[in-house]
Amino acid sequence: MSFLFGGRSSKTFKPKKNIPEGSHQYELLKHAEATLGSGNLRMAVTLPEGEDLNEWVAVNTVDFFNQINMLYGTITDFCTEESCPLMSAGPKYEYHWADGTNIKKPIKCSAPKYIDYLMTWVQDQLDDETLFPSKIGVPFPKNFMSVAKTILKRLFRVYAHIYHQHFDSVIQLQEEAHLNTSFKHFIFFVQEFNLIDRRELAPLQELIEKLTSKDR
């Protein structure tokens, strides 16, 4: 469980992705949690000295998947076919789903359906040992960074949907501090390694500027 949600409801949208205890990636996750605990998010996202960038991105991508999984899990009762017939992030942004394999042509679908497709797709990538090797000495594939960028770009859309369409529910559930801390951590991470194109971040640009301006 991510440190952000210690002792909270463990309802997740999809099963949590575990990093095997005792592995080097598990040690990296513990390092990330320890530095996050210090409260300095800018420092927490920097690549630890002597570590492999791919491995650092992999560990953090798994952690963001778990965080978003829990955040979305708290508001699934409010995100329904009726309340969210489209996957949107405010009036200007609408997302259509395609994964390039099962669904090649982008389809218009409700937000819960889109997020189900998205999280299942991410889970399949994280479970693929050829993409996300968990064993020491197994190299990351050459296309790893482009896969990680696609995962993070898509996970951002879940944050964007929650903020634009369900923030009232988040406040009602008293989860806004968790959502803001998680999103701020996510944004600092993708900014540090330039992992998401600025245009993709447009739906939450004002919020991003507000959350990051104090830490420049």
- What is the secondary structure of 51-74 as a DSSP string? --HHHHHHHHHHHHHHHHHHHHHH
Report how far residue 95's alpha carbon sits from residue 85's, in angstroms, rounded to the nearest whole number.
12
The DSSP symbol for 103 reads: -
The answer to whether 109 is annotated as binding is no
Kindly state the DSSP code that residue 133 receives in the 8-state scheme: -
Q: Binding site annotation covers 164? A: no
Residues in the chain: 216
Can you list the domains of the chain with their CATH numbers?
24-213 (1.20.140.30)
Q: What is the pLDDT of residue 26?
A: 79
Task: Out of 1-10, 18-27, 126-135, give the one with best mean pLDDT.
Answer: 126-135
Position 32 scores a pLDDT of 76
Q: Does 79 show up as a binding residue in the annotation?
A: yes
**Average pLDDT estimate for 88-101:** 93
CA distance 202 to 107: 22
Q: How far apart are CA 160 and CA 163, in angstroms?
A: 5
Which two three-digit tokens encode residue 97? Answer: 């789903």
Asked whether 58 and 140 are in contact (CB, 8 A), the reply is: yes
Is 166 annotated as contributing to ligand binding? yes
| C-alpha atoms less than 13 angstroms from C-alpha of 164 in its C-beta half-sphere | 22
- pTM to 2 decimal places: 0.89
User: What pLDDT sits at residue 37?
Assistant: 64
The whole-number average pLDDT for the span 69-73 is 94
Indicate whether 147 pLDDT > 60: yes
